[in-house]
Amino acid sequence: MSFRDDAGSASQKPMKPRKSGVIGWRAPCRRLAAAGALLTLAACASSPPTHFYTLAGDANANGSPAPTAVNAGAQPYANPLLIEVLPAGIPPQLQRPQMVLDTGPGQVDVLEQRRWSQPLGDEIGQALSADLTHALPAVDVYRSMHEPTQTVYRVAVNVQRFESVLGSHASLEAVWSVTRLPQSLTLTCRSALSAPAGDGYDALVASHRQVLAGLALQIGMAVRSLQRSPADSKTVNLPACPADR
C-alpha cells in the first residue's frame, strides 16, 4: 500500500509481520500433555499392588499340626503307590482368578487385588497331590505315561462349598471318589471340614491348606482301604468312608 506525503512523493508503509497461528496453540498443548502425564503417574502410584496366593505349601504354616502319615511304617518311595489326582471341580462362582470372600448371608466380595496363582480347581488338586504323595507315599501319574496293567488309584474331587471368612474360618464341603484301576472299583464319600482362621489373608490361606490336608488324610485312608481289597474282584464290599475329624 502507498500514500503520498506532504511533499507529494510516494512512500512505502512498512508491513507488520504476521503472527503464525501454530505458535499460539503449541504452549497450551504442551501444558495439557504435561498435566496428563502427571495424572497418569499419580494413578499408577495410587493403584494397590496385586497379591497372589497358592494352596500348595506347608499345611501347618498357621501353627496347626501337620497331617500325620497315612501309613507311618512305609518307607518313602521304596514301593510307592500310583495315584492320579485330577483337578478339582468347583462351583461356577469360584471359577475366577480373584479370591472370593463370604461377607454375610448371600453376600460375597470379589477381591481384585487378591488372586490365586492358578485356577482354583488346579490349586486344590495340586495341594491334594502334594499331601497324598508325601503321606502314602505315592507317585502322582496325572498326565504321565504308565503301564495299563499297573494299579492306579484315581482321585476325583467335586467341591460343593469353599467358604472364606476373613478373621473367622475356612471351610470346605466336597464329594470325592477313589477308583482303583484297571478294576474300576470305586469308593465315593462326602467330607465337610473347617479350620479357624486368624486375621489377614495369609492366615486365611493357611487355614485352607489345613482343611485340604485333612481332606487328603481322608482320601489317603480310602486309598489304603481299597488297596487291602482283593485285587481280582469288582464286587467286594467297599470299606466305609473315613469320618471327618
| Confidence class for position 233, pLDDT limits 50, 70, 90 | low
pLDDT at site 78: 55
CB 105 within 8 A of CB 58: no
Class of domain 51-227: alpha beta
66-70, 123-127, 156-160, 212-216: the lowest-pLDDT one: 66-70
Residue 133, pLDDT > 90, answer yes
38-42, 85-89, 153-157, 237-241: the lowest-pLDDT one: 38-42
Residue 133: Cβ within 10 Å count: 20
pLDDT at site 212: 97
What pLDDT digit, counting tens, does each position of 187-200 carry? 999 999 999 999 99
Mean pLDDT of 83-112: 94
Report the predicted TM-score, pTM, of the whole model to 2 decimal places. Answer: 0.75
pLDDT at site 93: 92
15-19, 191-195, 218-222, 226-230: the lowest-pLDDT one: 15-19
pLDDT at site 140: 96
Q: In what order do the strands lie in the sheet with 169-181?
A: 138-140, 81-85, 152-165, 169-181, 185-196
- The three grid cell numbers given for residue 102, joined into one nine-digit string: 463370604
| Confidence class for position 32, pLDDT limits 50, 70, 90 | low
Give every CB contact of residue 163 below 8 A, 6+ residues apart in sequence. Answer: 102, 169, 170, 171, 172
